[in-house]
Amino acid sequence: MSNTLLDTPIEFLKGVGTARADLLKTELSVFKFGDLLYKFPFRYVDKSTFQTIKDLSYDGVSAQLKGTLVSLELVKGANNRRRLVGLFKDSSGFVELIWFQRAKVLSEILVAGAKYVLYGQLKIYKGKKSFAHPELELLEKAEKSIKGAFDPVYYTTEKLSGRGLDAKGIRKCMVALFEKLSKRDIVENLPEYLLSSLKLMGKYDALKEVHFPTSQATLEAAQKRLKFEELFYMQMRLLQTKAIRKRDIKGFVFEIVGEKFNRFFAEKLPFTLTGAQKRVIKEIRADLGSGIHMNRLVQGDVGSGKTMVALMCMLIAIDNGFQNCMMAPTEILARQHYQSVMEYVSGLGIRVAFLSGTVKGKKRAELLKMLAAGDIDILIGTHALIEDPVIFKNLGLAIIDEQHRFGVEQRAKLWRKNPAGPPHVLVMTATPIPRTLAMTLYGDLDVSVIDELPPGRKDVTTKHFTETRRPHVLNFMHHEIKKGRQIYVVYPLIEESEKLDLQNLNSGYEMLLQYFPPENFNISVLHGKMKPKDKDFEMERFVSGKTHIMVATTVIEVGVNVPNASVMIIENSERFGLSQLHQLRGRVGRGAEQSYCILMTSYKVSKEGRERIDTMVRTNNGFEIAEADMQLRGAGNIEGVQQSGYMDFAIANLATDTPILTAARHIAEKILHADSALEDPKNAIIRREIVKMHKKHKNYGRIS
């Protein structure tokens, strides 16, 4: 079913032509009529309501005013550049207008004394209100053009605007497009039974309505339909990938729970598992025994005990004669896993080894030989584990800790390490991710959630202080050290300037030395530029309690476990993202003591920085923090999301469309459950759409 109109090259649209078409291609990836159709407005302006100048009260607010352009003047600036300055008046007062670009042209178009509708973003500087580059439309004309209640505003770029394709110009293109377009050109891609049961608008109507809304209610209905369609097919794709993998890939069967597991459980397990840990281990065990290939995500808050879950699963693999590997994103974390696993399994006759870039020469060669011969049961390390020459004899289970630093590509590499076939894969997140993101990023994985912390954990008390409270903070540090506790002081990584980083860290260290002199106190320093050997040395001194304070950059962020450390001081905390702050805070509160997290900031903090700090002070719950993070930054900016390739939504928004996504996934599951091959005639439309997707995404169905 080819669709000639939608496939028409964009240069043939009325008012476009070759020059603009070239720009549309490079700037917006619009090649054909159909591409333009899917460039949806990012907001709408209600043309029927106006504000008054008097009531505009904060910087950055969008405003629509009705009034008179009182005066207009071209002014020559210092560097000979002209700017256009105007004065605008409505019934409540005056406001200044200013244009730096196209000043001359605009001075000839705009008419002083005429009535206009003004649209722009208010600027308030030192109490004075102004608009830079407002859009003005003659009132008379504006009133004529108020067809619908809302005007769509399209995303555009500076280059496009320069060619007349500003938001308004794109709107004109859309009008031209819809003059050509009729219902016949738009193929409905949701089956009738879904449209009626979910009360969804038809596709053509929805497309027309989002571009040319007639009322708030119909606009919302149209958006809902298009969002549903987008999320539904994304979920279909993920769930089918998962189903195909389950059908086509045989997983090793771990039939027994044997001696190693049972002995560990009876003799070694240093605590009682939480209910959540038990449940998750059970879920994993069911996978491992099923003959289906496991690809499971374990989500759990910081400190929920994911490592123990991983270890117990590895014991099952060993009982069934398989090897294991566990990958961590940093050397320090990998070593720490190595040490704790060694301790846990000592005396059980399990062979544990460590591999990272620092293991070289003869030692490495020896290790690789043992690995290939099957003489190593658990290999722990960094991403060196998936580098080429590393080959296992029979890798049964691969555990990836703190997933978001490992890409899909790296997950795939693991598969080739094992001549015996694809190992079961267990992915563990460092911090929780919002449910909608989990459904998308890991939509093809099964998910287990550890939603319970080990008993006796006290919530970390979190405080926010500015520099004026420094003496108080130093006193508090003294106090805690006297009680036998240890303290982290963390400095941000400033990506643009590693030098500045170290400066910060070093001056912080110098400052601390004055208050904690070497005669009585020991301080460790740790940063990314240090040699691994020195890092280990400093870390080890802190872990064993020889040093009181650990001054570090974020290298300690993930996973590090020193239960006696009870204070986390984060300097310039406004520079950190929420999940990073939460991860850092998770380094304390690991023992029985009351722990503290102190967020230091400068006096001036941006609105968003302030919200992050407030969120941290308000809650200890990682799932809540993850959600707040997504609301603050938008889904597209969360780590790992960009690379996923699942995020190029034309209209859906994961941060706000949770209910639609949840419904879409639920319905996709139900349909596939009842009709896995989509053979039922009533699902023919879905099947056809998915075939189309296959063609578009060449990698579709590729196993990762």
Pairing of strands 323-327, 395-401: parallel
Using the rule CB under 6 A, is 300 a contact of ligand ADP?
A: yes
By beta-carbon proximity to ligand ADP, the closer residue of 301 and 657 is 301
Binder of residue 223, out of ligand ADP, Mg ion, none (CB less than 5 to 8 A by kind): none
Q: Are 439 and 413 in contact (CB under 8 A)?
A: no
Using the rule CB under 6 A, is 403 a contact of ligand ADP?
A: no
Q: Read off the amino acid at residue 24.
A: L
Distance from C-alpha of 629 to C-alpha of 578, rounded to nearest angstrom: 6
- At 600, is the secondary structure helix, strand, or coil? strand
Inter-axis angle of helices 607-618 and 622-633, nearest 10: 170
Binder of residue 590, out of ligand ADP, Mg ion, none (CB less than 5 to 8 A by kind): ligand ADP
Nearest to 116 by CA among 86, 143, 139, 146: 139
Question: Which of these segments, 60-68, 181-189, 300-308, 663-671, binds ligand ADP (CB under 6 A)?
Answer: 300-308
Which positions from 221 through 280 interact with ligand ADP, judged by CB under 6 A? 271-274, 277
Binder of residue 304, out of Mg ion, ligand ADP, none (CB less than 5 to 8 A by kind): ligand ADP
Sites of contact with Mg ion (CB under 5 A):
559
**In sequence order, which residues have a C-beta less than 8 Å from that of residue 280 and are 6 or more positions away?**
298, 309, 448, 449, 450
CB of 134 to Mg ion, least distance (A): 52
Using the rule CB under 6 A, is 454 a contact of ligand ADP?
A: yes
Number of residues that bind ligand ADP (CB under 6 A): 17
Q: Write 403-411 long-range contacts (CB < 8 A, 24+).
A: 403/297, 403/427, 403/428, 403/429, 403/430, 403/640, 404/429, 404/430, 404/433, 404/639, 404/640, 405/329, 406/327, 406/329, 407/643, 408/643, 408/644, 408/704, 409/704, 410/383, 410/386, 411/704
Binder of residue 317, out of Mg ion, ligand ADP, none (CB less than 5 to 8 A by kind): none
- For residue 121, what are the β-bridge partners? 62
Cβ-in-10-Å burial (0-12, 13-18, 19+) of 406 comes to: buried
Q: Are 502 and 529 in contact (CB under 8 A)?
A: yes
- What values do phi and psi take at 17, rounded to 5? 75, 175
Binder of residue 497, out of Mg ion, ligand ADP, none (CB less than 5 to 8 A by kind): none
- For residue 399, what are the β-bridge partners? 326, 426
Question: Biggest alpha carbon distance in the chain?
Answer: 91
By beta-carbon proximity to ligand ADP, the closer residue of 321 and 454 is 454
Using the rule CB under 6 A, is 537 a contact of ligand ADP?
A: no
Q: Which residue is nearest to Mg ion (CB)?
A: 559
Using the rule CB under 6 A, is 68 a contact of ligand ADP?
A: no
**In sequence order, which residues have a C-beta less than 8 Å from that of residue 220 and are 6 or more positions away?**
none
Question: Which of these segments, 28-36, 168-176, 295-303, 459-467, binds ligand ADP (CB under 6 A)?
Answer: 295-303
- What values do phi and psi take at 517, rounded to 5? -65, 150
By beta-carbon proximity to Mg ion, the closer residue of 432 and 559 is 559
Binder of residue 308, out of ligand ADP, Mg ion, none (CB less than 5 to 8 A by kind): ligand ADP
Using the rule CB under 6 A, is 306 a contact of ligand ADP?
A: yes
CB of 306 to Mg ion, least distance (A): 5
- At 94, is the secondary structure helix, strand, or coil? strand
By beta-carbon proximity to ligand ADP, the closer residue of 118 and 308 is 308
State both tokens at 499.
């030098």
By beta-carbon proximity to ligand ADP, the closer residue of 295 and 431 is 431
Q: Which residue is nearest to ligand ADP (CB)?
A: 305
Distance from C-alpha of 248 to C-alpha of 106, rounded to nearest angstrom: 65
Binder of residue 67, out of Mg ion, ligand ADP, none (CB less than 5 to 8 A by kind): none
Using the rule CB under 6 A, is 590 a contact of ligand ADP?
A: yes
CB of 307 to Mg ion, least distance (A): 5
Using the rule CB under 6 A, is 460 a contact of ligand ADP?
A: no
CB of 453 to Mg ion, least distance (A): 13
By beta-carbon proximity to ligand ADP, the closer residue of 241 and 554 is 554
By beta-carbon proximity to ligand ADP, the closer residue of 302 and 664 is 302
Using the rule CB under 6 A, is 329 a contact of ligand ADP?
A: no
Using the rule CB under 6 A, is 313 a contact of ligand ADP?
A: no
CB of 328 to Mg ion, least distance (A): 8
By beta-carbon proximity to ligand ADP, the closer residue of 113 and 455 is 455
By beta-carbon proximity to ligand ADP, the closer residue of 207 and 326 is 326
Torsion of CA 46, 52, 58, 64, to 10 degrees: 30
Q: Which residue has the tokens 């993920």?
A: 238
Per CB under 6 A, the list member of 506, 561, 621, 662 interacting with ligand ADP is 561
DSSP annotation of 268 reads: I
Q: Are 318 and 377 in contact (CB under 8 A)?
A: yes
CB of 425 to Mg ion, least distance (A): 17
Binder of residue 561, out of Mg ion, ligand ADP, none (CB less than 5 to 8 A by kind): ligand ADP
- For residue 597, what are the β-bridge partners? 462, 568
Using the rule CB under 6 A, is 303 a contact of ligand ADP?
A: yes
Distance from C-alpha of 659 to C-alpha of 670, rounded to nearest angstrom: 17
Q: Given the rule CB under 6 A, which residues bind ligand ADP? A: 271-274, 277, 300, 302-308, 454, 561, 563, 590
